[in-house]
Chain A
Amino acid sequence: MKKLDWIIIGSVLIIAVGILLIRSLGKRAGDMAVVTLNGTVILEQTLSEEAVIPIRTEEGYNILQIADGGAKIIEADCRDLICVNHIKVSKKGESIVCLPHQLVVEIVER
């Protein structure tokens, strides 16, 4: 590998870690989960009440669980199950994405 290779690799990593650090400093708990399907908001759910909400999409279903001040997808019939494997989100700006179903759960602060 050449010098310029290392410069590219290093600068990308520094930018990535920099953004993560800056963001972790300003992390605040959110109080609302906003679910969007294909860019349209279909559900706004407060994080203060526990709930289990099945969401039907054109492509399949996802089951959203609200518990302990956070949101998690506990079940889905998408192919990759990336959404189900995602850890619980509770901080403002955090999100869970299910690309096969075009579904996004985002934590916001109201």
Chain B
Amino acid sequence: MSSASAGSRNRGAVRERRACMAKRVALTGVMTALGIVLGWLESLVPFTPGIPGVKLGVANIAALLVLYRLSWKEAATVSILRILISCMLFGNPITGIYSLAGAALSLLIMVLLKRLDGLSMTGVSAAGGVAHNIGQILAAWLLLGTDAILYYLPILLATGVVSGVLIGLAGAWLHRHLPTEIS
């Protein structure tokens, strides 16, 4: 008798875990799609700075939100899938490498800084924006094999922090206002 009820309790727990897993997978998928659409919309806005890597990067709102709502694993999934799919749809494989390098360093820094109590989502995102641009510069430095690229470092530090703050403010607003069931 008791073993039967334990079995059904177990089955209930398994079902609950599966439902939870399904929800995480679904949310990861939705956020990846959101990221792709945001990135595409941003690409429609005519903005020609003449410096590679200077952009707002609104697509990163999706990964930032997932980092706070789920975990770094889902955030990494969202970033990697978004970059690969966007690259296949609208991009060029070489620029995709820079995006991946930027996203990897950015996520690493954000995961580490998120553990600090003294930082809000906006500050974490600001550091992530800077790390993203540093990652891109490092990738370009290695791939292009020329120090000329380092010339852009100060400009990309500044634009990285500015876009990181803006993405962070948007992400924090969404994090506050989206229903807690979405997590």
Contact = CB atoms under 8 A, between A and B. Distances in A.
Interface string A24-39: 0000000000001011
Contacts of B89: none
A100 B52 CA distance: 10
B106 interface: no
A51 interface: no
Given A16-B158, A23-B154, A5 B119 contact: yes
Interface residues of B, number: 36
Given A12-B130, A36-B144, A97-B140, A20 B154 contact: yes
Contacts of A44: none
A54 interface: no
Contact of A15 (B94, B122, B146, B157): B157
Contact of A104 (B144, B157, B165): B144
B158 A3 contact: no
A36 B145 contact: yes
Nearest to B169: A1
A5 B122 CA distance: 7
Contact of B94 (A8, A81, A100, A104): A100
A59 interface: yes
Contacts of B88: none
A8 B116 contact: no
Contacts, number: 115
Contacts of A78: 92
A5 B92 CA distance: 35
| Chain B interface, DSSP helix/strand/loop, else mixed | helix
Nearest to B43: A80
Contacts of B98: 99
Contacts of B94: 59, 99-100, 102
B50 A85 contact: yes
Interface string A5-16: 110110011011
B140 A4 contact: no
B8 interface: no
Contacts of A86: 50-51
Interface of B: 48-52, 91-92, 94-95, 98, 116, 118-120, 122-123, 126-127, 130, 140, 143-146, 148-149, 151-155, 157-158, 160-161, 165
23 contacts: A1-B120, A1-B123, A4-B119, A5-B126, A9-B165, A13-B158, A13-B161, A15-B157, A16-B155, A17-B158, A36-B148, A38-B145, A40-B145, A59-B92, A79-B91, A79-B92, A79-B95, A82-B52, A86-B50, A99-B95, A99-B98, A104-B148, A106-B146
Q: Which 3 A-B pairs have the closest CB atoms?
A: A39-B145, A5-B123, A86-B50
